Structure 1
Amino acid sequence: MNISDSFNTDTENDDEQEEKCFEPIFYFEHYKYEKIPSHHFNIGDSVALIDQEQLDEYLSKQNKTDEKPPLRLFYQSFGIILSIYPLLSIKFTYWPLSLTNSNYLNRQKLFRLEHLLLIKPFLNLSDNIDKDQLKNYAQDQIRNVENNLTDDNEYNHATLNNSQRQAIKNALENRLTLIQGPPGTGKTETSAWIIHLWLKKFFQEGQPILICAETHQAVDNLTRRLLQYRQYRLIRYGEPRTVAPDLHKYTLPTQIELLRREKQQSNSNTTTTNKSLYGPPKPKEIREIISKCQILCMTCSGVGILEPDFKFPFILIDEASQITEPNILIPLVRITDQIVLLPPIIKMAEAKPLLERSFFQRLLENLNINSIMLDTQYRMHPSLIDFPSKVFYDGSLKTGIKPEQRPIPQEIKFINKQIPLMFVDVDQSYETIHGSNIYNRQEVELICQTIQTLLPRRQPNLSPIDIGVITPYTRQVKEIVEKLSTIQVPKGVEIRTVDGFQGREKNIILISLVRSNNENEIGFLINEQRMNVLLTRAKCAMIVFGNKHTLISNNLWKHWIESVPNVNSTQFINECLIKQNQITDQHQSQSTKQYTHNKYNNSRKSYPQ
């Protein structure tokens, strides 16, 4: 390639000419009979210039066993593509080190251009780019996407609101899209549509879409929801012991076994033993399985075990606001085209400023990229969303649900009949600590009594799957499970930690906050993200159990407790838990208000998840 610089730019005055003559803009053109190599660069892309000869010289001096140095050590400069035809022109942020000497340019020199992800927002080059050319290119791309969407009849008739459609449109048009999805706003449905349209419009065999989350449970939740929409060729990558049993058929070992059986059947002359069917996977088999799938689902850290050659044109990262930078960078280095980032950390005093700041937050704070917020929730009774909307989302979260679409359970007598929410002050309780294990037996008793009331032995109106119990501590989960096993209630109530309930929802949520001490220590509960998860899992009703004196030491919890109806534990047992005969009388006198499990399910099916 010939490289020419912008020294001869005509300007209106000497000062401007002097400034422009030092602009590091280079034009790459055909040299004699050699053509510019084929590439996938577009206007506005960020690149790094590498001195390939210097890199080759360094590598030639290394032993074969030595670890290869990172390419960034040989970066000469960073730049942005200004044009791609007829000349490939690049403006660099500063003069490349190898190109500052004119004599150096007079001999043949081999350079290499590398695509750089997420560098463009730092370059501050917008004043010097050919704006008309860049604008025209961008408008052409947007028109192509909009025309494709207009022609998609299925998409046109989908029940999506404006903010969801805007998020989907951004994900199709931009290389990086940040989507903030508050609880119940249809984040999973939006994700499913993004993935569906990526596959429909851009998918090429051998280049699957990568879907990641921080935890195995979060990956499982998103995988299930995707499979509810369509039966994709999907791989749930991970050890079977870390994957939910209902997804085992999508795991790599199962798929490799199927592959081996298929090859065995196609080759009748070969006798295959059980050992060869179930043996450890070979790298060639892993590559074959992944190359045949459309979607690869795995944790962020799990991406690190894939072969370095695996690259993905599209990556969607769920719950990105909870992932710290080291973990999220593992999948990001595999990207070749587009990314969508969709939004619990233990306190460590010295590392807190860094470790508690997610990559998603850093992008929002430091880059000139506007995130798209899904602004309408379809999960919670309107009274349940008031506090989260005001405190966590500046009051911008709207509701697409009417109160009558989220019926209040008659088994509990709420203080305010219009608000299916209350805080039960367990003022006589004390937490028990064994090492890092913390539990609260008084709250265990109250939780179990409440479940007994909701699921009476005779003619229950609710099903166990309608009820969820959330607590911040694993030991408290164990205590509740063990206590429930000793009393006669139907099995099926879901009991998990806060992190385990991420992405989940139930008609009725019971929360045990556990902490009760004279030092006013609230541990995990100080984390606002966890508080947001806790308070946004219920669809129809929520009851929170905790020690008021301990909790109000934290301003945010004090604010919440003061904003909701309060009772003490004695009042709750005597006045709020309705006996079986009272329930029967109420349902007989109000025959038009049958709060059955079927009605809960019907109301759920009518709205996006």
Structure 2
Amino acid sequence: MACISRIIHQNLIDVDIDGLNVKLIKLSDFNQDPTELRTVVDRNEGRSLGLSAAYSPRAGLRLLAIADTSTVIIIDFETDNSKNNGRATPPGDSATTAGLDYLCDHVLCRPVGFVYGFDMGPLALALWQSHDLRIQQAIDMQCAGPRKTRAPLATVQFAIGDTARIFDVNIVRVFNDYICHVSNDPSASQTTTPLAQRAWIAHHISQLASMEERLADVPPVNTVKLSDTILRFLAKASQDSFQLDEKKPKEVTRTVAVAFNKGRKQVDAKVNRYQHKIRGGKNQQARIHMPGATTGGGYSIPANVTVARGEGVRLKVEGNISGSRVALITLTGREDPTAAEVKRAQVVLMILQGKMGAIGSEGLNPWVHQIYLDPGEEFAWPAEWAKDTIPPIKFKLEKIPRPLNSSQVKVIKRMCSQADEHRVSIIQGPPGTGKTTVIASYVLTAVGAGQTGIWLIAQSNIAVKNIAEKLADFGLTNWKLLVSSEFYEYWHEHLYAHIHSNIIISEEFIEKSTMKQLYGCPVVLCTLSMLSSNKLHQLGAFKMVPLRNIVVDEASQIEIGDYIPVFTTASTIRKVTFIGDDKQLPPHGQEEIGELQSIFEVEHLRKHMLLLDTQYRMPPQIGAFISQTVYDSQLKSSEGHPLYETPNMTCHFVNVAGLQVSVGTSWKNPEECKAILQLSSIFQGQRKKFKIITPYDAQRTLIENSLKEAELQWEDTCFNVDSEKLLGNEEDYIVISLVRSWELGFLQDLRRTNVMLTRCKRGMVIFTSKEFMQKYGKNSLVGSLLGYYDNEAWIEVKEMNRTIFV
């Protein structure tokens, strides 16, 4: 049989073994003669084998490694058949499948003995999705490791203990990249060495006497007994998670202020932005880079993050750093997954292990069936749900403290309905259409009718806070907002000043007296991430306030897989309303990962969609343009807008002949920054309220620092388009810096551009150049806006003092 053999030496732990014999075999050759694998299996009959995989960028299984103590067999499947979440006939000679048959019968579905691997859930699902192969007797290594993290390094450290030296940096590197990078010739790439080492370390740990009892308690992954329907749902969720995880940077560098404690050999460092905070993680290694006195000088030393809290991080170092200085910290390896990401992976794994009850059989959880699978005409909600004693809700317009338009009334009545056909409701709310007013009106009505178990959730902390403030504005006080300490403390406490008495921060969850505040509380607000983590379940929050009626804001920004922990584990949910706008921000990563979906992209759910059709925020001039170009002329502007009949221009383009300058992976335009400082000074002198938006973080930083140096308003003034603080936010005047002087870049993204152009209440000022707009920008949404004004919106920088901003 044709195979490529080589000897490698594992460098993960210090144990006395000879080199590993790694044999790479193409599937076509393996199907002709599986002798090499048979040799390994025969000498390990009934004993453990280690497994590992390398994947295509689309999460299709490309290479599979099978290891014992001295040998690693790697099967190259030669292609990725997982396109469109479908399965295809395995590659190779279709008339000769001896190798695959042997692999299935004696490794994947071996009758005696177990196979062990890290992240066994995704591996098992990729086998089925890519190659129609099932597996049983498969043990996930991390399930036998520390309970608080699934980081492979932590599992290896836990298993090895003090019996051998562990090379942390090498382990992080080996588990940092699961992608097969050289698709035409894997043997020539660096993929096969870490792949072999991952399979070997899984086998080695499974042989340790100290791990025998813990591994015996781990239920095996078994896809043999699961239906294609269940596997299709799980494979899609796993594939999406994998691709999102691969998008996370493998190395980041942060600028910090450091102070060295020589006696304790530790460094205290501080970052200056919440977005740049450093989280401690088992998957990462750190280095501190100290600048020299002259250009090109300096030095760096290794460090370990020991404490990360708020703006500060403490690192243990071996070398010496003198004084307090500005330095760089480079973190290699991906951040640990969030609590919600861990919970999502856990749920998928538990289903594969048969620990989720009915969901693993044909008696599907109705929410899984409704949300993730096309239910068809025969689908019916459980009959007993209709018998639940739910107080009827009668919507009374006179009880609402704000005037409502007809589309808002229709939406609120739908949200109040308990009929089966309304258990899933989707509301499209374009910018400024009163989504938080609708949510607050629904809550006021439902609570007034005696309903409890209402959970209001969103993707971002800011959106949750905005809803809470609207509840308070409506006179509602009997609710609690759960917010993470990481977001609240040090960074954003000031944002909650008006609703402070209703807040419970996550750091206080462990106090029973604090959690008792939920008793008798009909409404709870939190992010989807917090709702999806294990913490609230463990603390009994869902017993105090059952998950019964869920309202999801920003639903168009949430990938449907993120709901898996909620819809697969909560048995009390009876109604869900999704509110969002698929014409604005999509789920993170959707541009690169086309398979990602929000609720709004699921065709069988769109039939439940209603539209909020009247906007109150934007000046009608701008509102009419947005309606025409983005919303098929279905969006009306309120006649009550203060600028409804103004003859004055509400949008201006300022001509700035500046050039975009590269800053790492971002861009800045210094000339636009200078011009914006002039307008900021004018606006402050006129006491106008304004915010500045730019697509690029480098420009945001430049503008913010320049405002600060000029002693102009700078705090909570300048935002990146994707900023959590910007979403759902608005201001009288919006100042936009496009930055670009060639190519469209960000402006090709209609949805993000739509976010940028729909924040103003009175006027908008866009900084760019005539040359750029004429040559590149005319085919963008911004270019269409300029054309809407017949190019009459242009002014020069020197004219800003004489311009009327209504």
Q: Is this a same-fold pair by TM over 0.5?
A: yes
Partner secondary structure for residue 455 of structure 1 = helix
User: For residues 345 and 551 of structure 1, do their structure 2 counterparts lie closer, same or farther at Cα, with a shift above 3 Å needed?
Assistant: farther
Q: Distance in 1 between matches of 2:375 and 2:547?
A: 25
Give the equivalent residue in structure 2 for 1:420. 650
Contact 2:469–2:499 (8 Å) recurs in 1: no
528, 533, 542: which is aligned to 1:300?
Answer: 528
Give the equivalent residue in structure 1 for 2:548. 313
Give the equivalent residue in structure 2 for 1:533. 755
Amino acid in structure 1 at the alignment position of 2:552: I
Contact 1:377–1:401 (8 Å) recurs in 2: no
Q: Distance in 2 between matches of 1:256 and 1:493?
A: 23
Contact 1:423–1:564 (8 Å) recurs in 2: no
Q: Distance in 2 between matches of 1:222 and 1:331?
A: 21
Give the equivalent residue in structure 1 for 2:367. 117
Give the equivalent residue in structure 1 for 2:469. 224
1:545 equivalent to 2:793? Answer: no
For residues 111-510 of structure 1, what are the structure 2 equivalents within 5 Å? 115-117=365-367, 119=369, 122-125=374-377, 148-150=394-396, 153-155=398-400, 158-173=402-417, 174-204=422-452, 207=453, 209-243=454-488, 244-245=492-493, 246-247=495-496, 255=504, 281-282=509-510, 284=512, 287-305=515-533, 306-308=535-537, 310=542, 311-333=546-568, 334=570, 336-343=573-580, 344=585, 351-355=592-596, 358-363=597-602, 365-367=603-605, 369-401=607-639, 404-405=642-643, 418-426=648-656, 428-456=657-685, 460=686, 462-463=687-688, 466-487=689-710, 489=712, 494-500=717-723, 501-510=726-735
User: For residues 63 and 75 of structure 1, do their structure 2 counterparts lie closer, same or farther at Cα, with a shift above 3 Å needed?
Assistant: farther
Structure 2 gap ranges (5+): 1-213, 231-360
Instruction: Name the stretch that deviates more: 293-302 or 375-384.
Output: 293-302
User: For residues 455 and 360 of structure 1, do their structure 2 counterparts lie closer, same or farther at Cα, with a shift above 3 Å needed?
Assistant: same
Give the equivalent residue in structure 2 for 1:578. 802
Q: Distance in 2 between matches of 1:495 and 1:375?
A: 30
Contact 1:422–1:565 (8 Å) recurs in 2: no
Amino acid in structure 1 at the alignment position of 2:521: C
Partner secondary structure for residue 796 of structure 2 = helix
Amino acid in structure 2 at the alignment position of 1:320: A
How many Å apart are 1:441 and its aligned residue? 0.9
Contact 2:695–2:721 (8 Å) recurs in 1: yes
Contact 2:786–2:793 (8 Å) recurs in 1: no
Instruction: Name the stretch that deviates more: 166-175 or 542-551.
Output: 542-551
Amino acid in structure 2 at the alignment position of 1:509: I
Give the equivalent residue in structure 2 for 1:15. none
* RMSD after superposition: 4.3
Q: Distance in 2 between matches of 1:437 and 1:167?
A: 41
Q: TM-score, normalised by structure 2?
A: 0.47
How many Å apart are 1:368 and its aligned residue? 6.0
For residues 376-400 of structure 1, what are the alpha-carbon distances to aligned partners after superposition, in whole Å with 9 as ceiling and x for unaligned?
1111211011221012210011111
Amino acid in structure 1 at the alignment position of 2:529: S
785, 795, 801: which is aligned to 1:560?
Answer: 785
User: For residues 368 and 527 of structure 1, do their structure 2 counterparts lie closer, same or farther at Cα, with a shift above 3 Å needed?
Assistant: closer
Partner secondary structure for residue 532 of structure 1 = helix
For residues 243-299 of structure 1, what are the alpha-carbon distances to aligned partners after superposition, in whole Å with 9 as ceiling and x for unaligned?
332427968997589xxxxxxxxxxxxxxxxxxxxx864275565344453332222
How many Å apart are 1:77 and its aligned residue? 10
Q: Distance in 1 between matches of 2:587 and 2:707?
A: 29
Q: Distance in 2 between matches of 1:256 and 1:180?
A: 31
For residues 120-163 of structure 1, what are the alpha-carbon distances to aligned partners after superposition, in whole Å with 9 as ceiling and x for unaligned?
5944346x999xxx9xx99x99x9957x225x7414x7511110
Q: Distance in 2 between matches of 1:502 and 1:198?
A: 27
Structure 1 gap ranges (5+): 1-61, 79-110, 258-278, 409-416, 587-594, 596-609
For residues 506-552 of structure 1, what are the alpha-carbon distances to aligned partners after superposition, in whole Å with 9 as ceiling and x for unaligned?
111111111223xx1413x3222211111111111111112425642
Q: Distance in 1 between matches of 2:749 and 2:482?
A: 30
Q: Distance in 1 between matches of 2:716 and 2:524?
A: 31
User: For residues 191 and 403 of structure 1, do their structure 2 counterparts lie closer, same or farther at Cα, with a shift above 3 Å needed?
Assistant: closer
For residues 29-68 of structure 1, what are the structure 2 equivalents within 5 Å? 65-67=217-219
Contact 1:380–1:401 (8 Å) recurs in 2: no
For residues 455-491 of structure 1, what are the alpha-carbon distances to aligned partners after superposition, in whole Å with 9 as ceiling and x for unaligned?
22xxx3x34xx21111122222221122222335456
Give the equivalent residue in structure 1 for 2:292. none
Q: Distance in 2 between matches of 1:433 and 1:351?
A: 22
Instruction: Name the stretch that deviates more: 228-237 or 434-443.
Output: 228-237
User: For residues 549 and 326 of structure 1, do their structure 2 counterparts lie closer, same or farther at Cα, with a shift above 3 Å needed?
Assistant: farther
Q: Distance in 1 between matches of 2:392 and 2:556?
A: 28
Instruction: Name the stretch that deviates more: 66-75 or 303-312.
Output: 66-75
Contact 1:238–1:252 (8 Å) recurs in 2: no
Q: Distance in 2 between matches of 1:368 and 1:572?
A: 46
Amino acid in structure 2 at the alignment position of 1:526: Q
Contact 1:301–1:330 (8 Å) recurs in 2: no
How many Å apart are 1:578 and its aligned residue? 1.9
Q: Distance in 1 between matches of 2:528 and 2:467?
A: 14
Contact 2:508–2:514 (8 Å) recurs in 1: no
State the structure with bigger RCO (CA 8 A, min sep 6), 1 or 2. 1
Aligned length: 434
Contact 1:164–1:374 (8 Å) recurs in 2: yes
Contact 1:425–1:568 (8 Å) recurs in 2: no
Amino acid in structure 2 at the alignment position of 1:167: V
Q: Distance in 1 between matches of 2:554 and 2:675?
A: 32
For residues 199-224 of structure 1, what are the alpha-carbon distances to aligned partners after superposition, in whole Å with 9 as ceiling and x for unaligned?
222524xx3x2222112222222222
Amino acid in structure 2 at the alignment position of 1:453: I
User: For residues 473 and 399 of structure 1, do their structure 2 counterparts lie closer, same or farther at Cα, with a shift above 3 Å needed?
Assistant: same
Q: TM-score, normalised by structure 1?
A: 0.61
Amino acid in structure 1 at the alignment position of 2:600: Q
User: For residues 187 and 281 of structure 1, do their structure 2 counterparts lie closer, same or farther at Cα, with a shift above 3 Å needed?
Assistant: closer
Q: Distance in 2 between matches of 1:400 and 1:349?
A: 33
Contact 2:624–2:637 (8 Å) recurs in 1: no
Partner secondary structure for residue 485 of structure 1 = helix
User: For residues 369 and 75 of structure 1, do their structure 2 counterparts lie closer, same or farther at Cα, with a shift above 3 Å needed?
Assistant: same
Give the equivalent residue in structure 2 for 1:605. none
737, 744, 751: which is aligned to 1:512?
Answer: 737
How many Å apart are 1:447 and its aligned residue? 1.2
User: For residues 550 and 284 of structure 1, do their structure 2 counterparts lie closer, same or farther at Cα, with a shift above 3 Å needed?
Assistant: farther
